[in-house]
Amino acid sequence: MIRKRERLSYYGICKWKGDNFYKTNFFLFLVPLVNVPYLFSGEKINIVIAIISSIYIGIMEEVIFRSFLCRSIEQISNKNKAIIISSMIFGCFHFLNIGNYPLKYILLQVLYAFAMGIVFSVVFYESKSILPCIIIHILVDFLGTFELEPIFIVEIIGTIICSLCAIYYYFFVRKKE
C-alpha cells in the first residue's frame, strides 16, 4: 500500500519541506536539553546499547504514533483531533512503565509524553516529514538513558518546559484550517 512514492510522502517518510521550518522550529532542537542534568548523575551506562535502543525506539514510536496513527485518525476526523488523540494515546502508552518508577514519576512522564506528542504531531504536519520528529525523539531518549534514578525537580521542570512547547506549537505554529 505505501510503496508508491505519494504514499510514502503522505506518511511523512521523506525529507522535510518548508523554508520557514528552521525559523519557527529552532528551539525544538533544544528540547532534549531537559535531560542534560542526568549526564552528570555519575551513573555508568552502556553507550552502544543506549544509542541502539534510542534509535530503535525513536524510529518505531514516530512511525507508529505520528505517521500511521495521526494519518489514520485524520482520515476519519480532522488534523486537530488527530493531533490530540494520537498524543493522548502516546502519553497513555507510557503507563507501561508502571512498576519501574513511583507513580508520581509515571504521571509526569505521561504528561511529558502527551505534550511532546502534540509538539511532534504539529512538526510532522508542518514539515510533512517524520524525520525531524525522529531526530528529536532519539536525542530525548538517548539523554534519558542516563536517568537511572529520577530527580523529581528535573522531571517537573522538564514536564513544564515540554507543556509550554506543546501550547506554543499547538496554538502558534500550526496553521489554522
DSSP character at residue 63: I
Tell me the pLDDT band of 1, cut-offs 50, 70 and 90. very low
Domain spans, the chain: 43-172
Q: Tell me: the pLDDT tens digits for 63-109?
A: 999 989 998 999 898 989 999 999 999 999 989 888 878 889 889 98
Q: What is the pLDDT of residue 118?
A: 92
Q: Kindly give, in sequence order, each residue whose CB lies less than 8 Å from that of residue 139, ignoring residues fewer than 6 positions away.
A: 29, 32, 54
Instruction: Output the pTM of the full model.
Output: 0.80
Contact between 143 and 36 under an 8 Å Cβ cutoff? The reply is yes
Look at the block and give the residue holding cell 504514499: 7
Dihedral sign for Cα atoms in the order 77, 82, 85, 86:
positive
d(CA 177, CA 11): 19
Q: What is the pLDDT of residue 16?
A: 64
Look at the block and give the residue holding cell 553507550: 47
Contact between 113 and 158 under an 8 Å Cβ cutoff? The reply is no
